[in-house]
């Protein structure tokens, strides 16, 4: 599995989602730009393990300084069109923020998305009816991300 | 224009409500919240409240709500309301006979639930005069409680009042799911009649009384909420039957205004288990002024609505809370107490402890908001709302930041978009004043409660405790002023 935050990680996650027609079909009507604000990301030791061509040194430096990773996941017609580090000019339609371990719990099936949000462990900002409609698909998305993540 | 029938009207309201839930996405979320419903697969009326109240979201999960516990809570809710008024009558009698020294006016032993429903504490002398002002010199107030899932009336109980004081308790009926929990004390209180109270002669009769029908519509008391959507209409429907019963049983009271106070189990338990009086007052505000929550029906009803309440709920929330606190508690804020002992209402005690330890708006706000922060709370809403409805003065810098980032408040207009546009299903509170913690206070006895100044902060509580204040209300004015001096406040 690729290390978190590397180019291969973004690619592998994208491929894992897009290669399953059921995933794509389940979110076929979804057009969202999802900003993931992940606090306490498991990046300790990442610097020693990766080369500068697999992770932008500036981004790594900022992540370490802020102890936070900001990722953008653009979904169009059910496919992940882009998964990368966020940029200042991104205009997300959904913001999900919380500690990495809280996203990880959903990904590992240890917690339910709805309760993570109602319990303020993951904060949701966006159009509620759209999110509510695809809450199971969002859960699947976390599962795929976590399943394709290796931490240093 | 052709008048539509009751069933058709009910169906229209039901469809409208279900459509709102669907459009907001709440129907889908509710299906995922099985951990907090005693009856999975069923949607309770006022489901909107279940989403936002920590009481249902947290406590029901904590205790593992189930059908048995649901029925038990209904019983605990019933007895606590009932005995509160009995105790209030004793307290006010005592206080009228004794001359209470000035420094003991706010002693929690002298405060009582002299309101209808008995949900907020007041000074006995103030309670008496305010009850006259609210309901008139002679009034019969009956509380009508409805199950959120079955929409059945499961108890009707209340008091006849003379000169602002309850003089006689009148239990109209209570279903068998309530009476099955009765102990010996309850059997005396609710299935026997004395000079102080009137009740049907047995548990069976208590239940059967709810089958009394409306003379014109033929609808049973028990079934009124199944035929009428809004709590105001429940009151209208039930009031005719109760009026007839009052003529039969108490002809001497026919001159008195008959008030119906109608509420569902969940709303009732929220009101009964509030931690503080300021918290209760915001819920009264929302219950009677549901536009503040973007809901187009009542969550609670007074039938008829006392004119003074109509005027008060027209005020901004913050002003309303301050006026109510001034009116009933001289501007202080009380930690509400239970009248029944823990043995009788163990689940309500668990709820109170949970709320005291975590705070009323946990997990989005950790701790107990000071009264002046509660008065300025911004609720989640299903419609667009405006800060002007809630606040007397503009938010602090820190509060603005939260309002903008979490609620997308518009600084120029004060408008806040509805929950479906932002996903905000929680209250927002001013973070510039630090939340209070349970450990800040002297040991809390939930059968006694405590009373504190409305302007408390952690610092002020600390100083008052250091100086010897025990939360009981004795000499509260002295300790409050002493703390103000030490804090350099004028």
Which of B25, B408, B424 to mutate against chain A (most A CBs within 10 Å)?
Answer: B25
Task: Say what the ipTM of the complex is.
Answer: 0.90
Strand partners, B452: B333
Beta strand extents in B326-410 (DSSP E only): 332-335, 385-386
Instruction: Give me the pLDDT at residue B346, please.
Output: 97
Give per-residue pLDDT as tens, B209-224.
999 999 999 999 999 9
Burial class for A152, CB neighbours closer than 10 Å (0-12, 13-18, 19+)? middle
Chain A residue closest in CA terms to B23: A129
Q: Which domains does chain A have, with CATH numbers?
A: 7-147 (3.30.1050.10)
pLDDT of res. B2: 65
- Indicate the residue of B25, B33, B364 with minimum beta-carbon distance to A131: B25
pLDDT digit string, tens, across residues B103-159: 999 999 999 888 778 888 988 778 788 888 889 999 999 999 999 999 999 999 999
Cross-chain residue pair B422–A126, CB shorter than 8 Å: yes
Inform me whether the pLDDT recorded for B1 exceeds 70.
no
Question: What is chain B's mean pLDDT, rounded?
Answer: 93
Distance CA B299, CA A56 (A): 55
Centre a 10 Å sphere on the Cβ of residue A140 and count the other Cβ atoms it contains.
19
Q: Which residues of chain A fall below pLDDT 50? A: none
Nearest CA among B471, B451, B473, B444 for reference residue B100: B473
Dist CA B457 CA B463 (whole Å)? 10
Tens of pLDDT, residue by residue over B299-325, are 999 999 998 888 898 999 999 999 999
Instruction: Between B399 and B307, name the one with better pLDDT.
Output: B399
For B468-478, what is the mean pLDDT?
Answer: 97
Å from B103 to nearest chain A CA?
43
> Are B407 and B416 in contact, with CB atoms under 8 Å apart?
yes
Cβ neighbours of B28 in A, within 8 Å: 132-133, 135
Position B490 confidence tier, pLDDT thresholds 50, 70, 90:
low
Alpha carbon of B336: minimum distance to chain A alpha carbons (Å): 26
The pLDDT assigned to B88 comes to 84
pLDDT band at residue B17 using 50, 70 and 90 as cut-offs: very high
Answer whether A125 sits within 8 Å of B422, measured CB to CB: yes
> Strand pairing of A79-85 and A68-76?
antiparallel
Taking CB atoms and an 8 Å cutoff, what residues of chain B touch A114? 29, 32-33
- What whole-number distance in Å separates Cα of residue B223 and Cα of residue B212? 10
The reported pLDDT for the residue numbered B117 is: 81
| Mean per-residue pLDDT, B330-336 | 95
Query: Which residues in chain A are closer than 8 Å to B33, comparing Cβ atoms?
Result: 114, 118
Tell me what the mean pLDDT of segment B398-421 comes to. Answer: 96
Sheet (strand A94-99) strand order: A79-85, A68-76, A31-39, A94-99, A122-125
Contact flag A131-B423 (C-beta cutoff 8 Å): yes
């Amino acid at each position: 599995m690729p290390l978190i935050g590397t180019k291969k990680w973004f690619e592998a996650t994208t491929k894992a989602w897009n290669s399953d027609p059921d995933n794509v079909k389940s979110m076929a009507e979804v057009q969202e730009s999802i900003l993931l604000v992940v606090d306490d990301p498991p990046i300790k030791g990442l610097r020693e393990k990766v080369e500068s061509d697999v992770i932008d040194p500036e981004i790594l430096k900022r992540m370490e300084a802020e102890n936070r990773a900001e990722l953008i996941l653009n979904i169009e017609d059910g496919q992940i069109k882009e998964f990368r580090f966020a940029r200042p000019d991104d205009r997300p339609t959904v913001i999900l923020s919380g500690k990495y371990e809280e996203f990880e719990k959903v990904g590992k099936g240890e917690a339910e998305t709805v309760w993570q949000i109602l319990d303020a462990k993951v904060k949701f900002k966006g159009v509620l009816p759209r999110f509510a409609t695809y809450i199971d698909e969002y859960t699947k998305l976390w599962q795929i991300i976590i399943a394709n993540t290796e931490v240093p | 224009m052709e008048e539509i029938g009751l069933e058709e009207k009910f169906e229209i309201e039901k469809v409208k409500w279900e459509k709102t839930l669907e459009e907001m996405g709440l129907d889908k979320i509710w299906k995922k919240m099985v951990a907090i419903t005693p009856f999975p697969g069923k949607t309770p009326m006022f489901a909107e409240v279940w989403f936002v109240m920590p009481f249902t979201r947290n406590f029901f999960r904590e205790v593992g709500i189930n059908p048995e516990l649901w029925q038990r809570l209904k019983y605990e809710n019933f007895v606590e309301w009932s005995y509160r008024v009995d105790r209030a009558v004793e307290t006010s009698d005592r206080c009228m006979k004794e001359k209470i020294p000035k420094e003991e006016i706010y002693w929690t032993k002298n405060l009582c639930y002299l309101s209808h429903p008995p949900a907020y504490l007041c000074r006995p002398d103030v309670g008496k005069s305010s009850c006259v002002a609210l309901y008139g010199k002679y009034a019969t107030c009956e509380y009508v409680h409805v199950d959120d899932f079955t929409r059945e009336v499961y108890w009707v109980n209340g008091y006849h009042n003379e000169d602002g004081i309850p003089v006689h308790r009148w239990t109209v009926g209570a279903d068998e799911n309530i009476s099955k929990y009765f102990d010996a004390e309850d059997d005396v209180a609710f299935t026997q009649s004395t000079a102080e109270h009137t009740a049907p002669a047995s548990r069976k009769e208590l239940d059967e009384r709810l089958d009394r029908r409306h003379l014109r519509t033929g609808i049973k008391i028990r079934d009124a909420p199944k035929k009428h959507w809004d709590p105001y209409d429940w009151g209208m429907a039930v009031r005719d039957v109760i009026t007839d019963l009052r003529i039969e049983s108490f002809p001497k009271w026919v001159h008195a205004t008959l008030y119906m106070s109608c509420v569902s189990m969940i709303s009732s338990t929220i009101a009964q288990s509030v931690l503080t009086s300021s918290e209760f007052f915001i819920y009264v505000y929302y219950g009677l002024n549901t536009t503040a929550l973007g809901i187009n029906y009542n969550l609670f009803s007074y039938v008829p609505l006392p004119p003074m309440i109509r005027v008060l709920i027209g005020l901004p929330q913050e002003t309303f809370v301050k006026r109510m606190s001034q009116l009933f508690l001289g501007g202080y804020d009380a930690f509400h107490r239970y009248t029944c002992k823990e043995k009788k209402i163990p689940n309500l005690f668990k709820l109170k402890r949970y709320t005291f330890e975590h705070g009323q708006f946990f997990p989005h706000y950790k701790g107990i908001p000071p009264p002046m922060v509660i008065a300025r709370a911004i609720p989640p809403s299903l419609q667009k709302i405006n800060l002007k409805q809630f606040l007397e003065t503009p938010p602090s810098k820190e509060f603005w930041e939260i309002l903008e980032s979490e609620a997308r408040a518009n600084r120029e207009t004060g408008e806040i978009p509805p929950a479906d546009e932002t996903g905000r299903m929680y209250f927002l509170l001013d973070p510039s004043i630090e939340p209070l913690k349970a450990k800040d206070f002297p040991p809390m006895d939930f059968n006694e409660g405590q009373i504190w100044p409305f302007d408390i902060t952690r610092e002020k509580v600390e100083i008052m405790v250091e100086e010897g204040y025990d939360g009981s209300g004795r000499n509260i004015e002295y300790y409050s002023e002493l703390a103000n001096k030490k804090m350099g406040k004028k």
